[in-house]
Chains A and B, each alone.
Chain A
């Protein structure tokens, strides 16, 4: 039991009459790098929100680090760090203040905090611009800061929701080698989503592919590639989830519905 750090069983989330996550089950082993893949709107972010106590499941069971994400939220929140897909910085504070805020909130002791803040700023190459207000940052710089902040404290589990979105290849490589190092040295479990299949092949121990709220496969990347008789993970992904672009596959009524959803949000 102890070597499974995340367990989801029959997890479902509905928004009104729309089912975003449909009765999924999976488990993540302690210390592994777990890639959660799927086309746009498949339900990846929704699943992460349920794991990280931001959203309560409509039904099903979720356990993170031995605690229920529904009933023992405070315990669960002590176990993980997260980099969100959507922005989550305070624009009116400087980059440094955002880091400091995070460090204090996660009770990183002062000396260690100062050291780590510097390290993380160096990792994403923003140390020289630490005192600028975040609202003056470019999109990519904001993204880098989000990652630096997410890595400031070292939790047991790191959730990364499309962490490298919009980053240049140099930064992406840089961050991934740091993450792999962390994973190796500190036995940190990484749960991440991405649309870059190359990233997954290079890093993930296990891949789960979700489509329209349902998990269609969960195995090692090598096995998925072999089972589908293809050469790369990207080909396997396309074979499993179909070649159609999601938006074009929905009917007019569905499209209207998703428009309405956009407006409501």
Chain B
């Protein structure tokens, strides 16, 4: 909610300069959506990984998990895999800055009479929207496999957490991409930064009972709060209180948005 409040407040401030700033943000958002909807191969291709996780982890670990008395593993895994899909799509959307730089389109936006902050904001909201849609698609996939949310009335909350995770990672990807000239460092970032964040976030296994050191790292990991919040909304169980999840993730998101827009504003071509 705080992000929405921030955005509305921002919209009000932008009003001083007329609706034109909102138009710029809107057109950047629309561009991301058009590009996404035109890349069917990407949409379908990106379903492969979640499916693999459902099958390998869900059916592989499931029996062990319930034998240990922890309940239904698919229920636990559902929010985790949805989160993963959002994280990867959002990172990819953020890192698209590099493609735009290489194909030259970035220049077109960088010389426009629109502040770099608004350009970055439009891109980020667009990327986040795409990632949330992708998360929704994986949610449907989870339903097909047998995942059942405990309370449908909580879906709007699930949506909020999905949007926060998506915004965080799009801004995160944008921040990193602003400092890179090409895609060469991208696998490095995925393997040494993003994957560890996913594995240490309770997306795939519970936080309770982890060694102290790992638990401390998990607590410093923004994604932990995203997964936990989403799990609360979908499964009705969580490690922290949903309010803590929401507040911590919002603060992290605002910080990364600030850093991202600063780095984006410093891009030179």
Q: Size class of B's contact patch?
A: 20 to 34
A61-102 residues at the B interface, CB under 8 angstroms = 74, 77-78, 80, 82, 84, 86-93, 97, 100-102
Interface string of B170-191 (1 = CB under 8 A from A): 0000000000010000000000
Let me know if B269 and A92 touch, CB within 8 A.
Answer: no
CA of A77 to CA of B110 in the docked complex: distance in angstroms? 9
- Please state if A107 and B23 are interface contacts (CB–CB under 8 Å): yes
Contact residue among B26, B104, B113, B268 (Cβ-Cβ distance under 8 Å from A56): B268
| Interface residues in B28-45 (C-beta closer than 8 Å to A) | 31, 34-35, 38-39
Q: Mark A39-70, 1 if CB is under 8 A from B, else 0.
A: 00000000001001111100000000000000
Q: Is A104 an interface residue (CB 8 A)?
A: yes
Contact A53 B34 (CB under 8 A): no
B111 partner, pick from A52, A93, A97, A264, beta carbons under 8 A: A52
A77 to B108, CA, bound (A): 11
Specify which of B38, B105, B113 lies most central, judged by the most chain A CB atoms within 10 Å of its CB: B113
Interface residue SS majority, chain A: loop
Contact of B109 among A52, A78, A92, A105 (CB under 8 A): A105
Chain A's nearest CB lies how many Å from the CB of B61?
39
Across-interface contacts of A82 in B (CB, < 8 A): 111
- Could you tell me if B27 and A104 are in contact, using CB atoms closer than 8 angstroms? yes
Q: Answer whether residue A260 sits at the interface, using C-beta atoms and an 8 A cutoff.
A: no
Kindly supply a per-residue 1/0 record for chain B positions 65-99, scoring 1 wherever the CB is within 8 Å of any chain A CB and 0 otherwise.
00000000000000000000000000000000000
Identify which of A49, A56, A88, A265 contacts B108 (C-beta below 8 A). A88
Tally of chain A residues near chain B (CB < 8 A): 30
For B217, what are the chain A residues with a Cβ–Cβ distance below 8 Å?
none
Given that A105-B112, A107-B113 are contacting pairs, would A55 and B105 also be in contact in the complex, using a CB cutoff of 8 Å? no
Q: How far is the CB of B213 from chain A (nearest CB, A)?
A: 40
Residue of B nearest to A110 (CB): B23
A78–B38 CA distance with the chains assembled, in angstroms: 32
Chain B nearest CB from A119 CB (Å) reads 20
Q: Name the CB-closest residue of B to A155.
A: B113
A-B contact pairs, 21 of them (CB 8 A): A49-B269, A55-B269, A80-B111, A84-B108, A86-B104, A86-B107, A87-B103, A87-B104, A88-B108, A89-B108, A90-B31, A90-B35, A92-B38, A93-B31, A93-B34, A100-B27, A102-B108, A104-B27, A106-B112, A106-B113, A264-B181
